[in-house]
Amino acid sequence: MKKPLSVVFWVGAVSLAMLLIAVPAAAGADPSQTAQQTEMDLAVKVGVGAGVPYGVLGAGVDVGIPHFSIVGGFGTTAYGPIGWSAGVRVYLFDRTRRFRPHLTAVYGTTLIVDVVGGDAYTVNGFAFYGSLDHDIGPIGGLILTYGIGVLTNDVPPAGAPDPQVFIRVMFGINYRFGGRQ
C-alpha cells in the first residue's frame, strides 16, 4: 500500500504536467515560437514575504517565461533553523494582465517544531498553492502575491499523526524585472 504522501505527490505532479501542456495551448501560444523569442521574454521577479515559497519568512525569486517559472526562497523560521524552498510555478495568463492566477508546487521547509528544553528543528515537505499575482500601479512593476496552499511533511514530528496535511496562506511583495509587458 502506498503512503498518503506519495499519492499527494503523484497527484500534484500529474496535475502540474497536464497544466504545463494545456495552459499554453488554451492561451493561444504559437508552438512554432523560436527559442530566441522565448529567451527575450525572460523575466525575474524578486520579493519578500511569508509562506513556503519565501522560505517561511524571507525572500523569494521567480525566474521564467510568460506561463512557467522556476521559484526559490530562502528565509528564517523566526526561532528555528533557516527555511528554504525550490519548485515550479505555472501562470494561467501571461504577464500583460493585472491579475494573474497561478499554481505553485514547491519542496522545502513546511513546519518548525519547538522542542521544550531543546533546540527547534524544521521539517521539509511539499506545498501546493493556488495563488494570484496582482500588479499595483503600472503592469510589471510592483506586484502583490497572495494565495492559499496545502502542505505535507516528509517525516512528521514524534507523536504527530501521520500524514500531516496543513492549509496555509502565502503573501508577498515583489518587483519584476524584464519580460515584455
Higher pLDDT, 170 or 20: 170
32 within domain boundaries? no
In a domain, 109, yes or no: yes
Domain encompassing residue 130: 4-23+42-178
CATH number, residue 171: 2.40.160.20
In a domain, 72, yes or no: yes
Span between the terminal Cα atoms of the chain, in Å: 49
| pLDDT exceeds 80 at position 134 | yes
Confidence of residue 114 (pLDDT cuts 50, 70, 90): confident
Q: What confidence category does residue 155 fall into, taking pLDDT thresholds of 50, 70 and 90?
A: confident
* C-alpha radius of gyration, the chain, whole number: 17
Residue 141: band (very low, low, confident or very high) from pLDDT cuts 50, 70, 90: confident
pLDDT in tens, 25-81: 444 444 444 444 444 589 999 999 999 999 889 999 999 998 999 999 999 887 778
Burial code of 6-26, b = ≥16 C-beta within 10 A, e = fewer? Answer: eebbeebeeebeebeeebbee
pLDDT tens string 120-131: 778 889 999 999
Contact between 74 and 84 under an 8 Å Cβ cutoff? The reply is: yes
29 located within any domain? no
Cα 161 to Cα 60: distance, rounded to the nearest angstrom: 31
With beta carbons less than 8 A apart as the criterion, state whether 20 and 90 touch. Answer: yes
In a domain, 13, yes or no: yes
Report the domain count for the chain: 1
Tell me which amino acid residue 9 is: F
Task: Tell me, yes or no, whether 129 lies in a domain.
Answer: yes
Three-class DSSP category at 4: helix
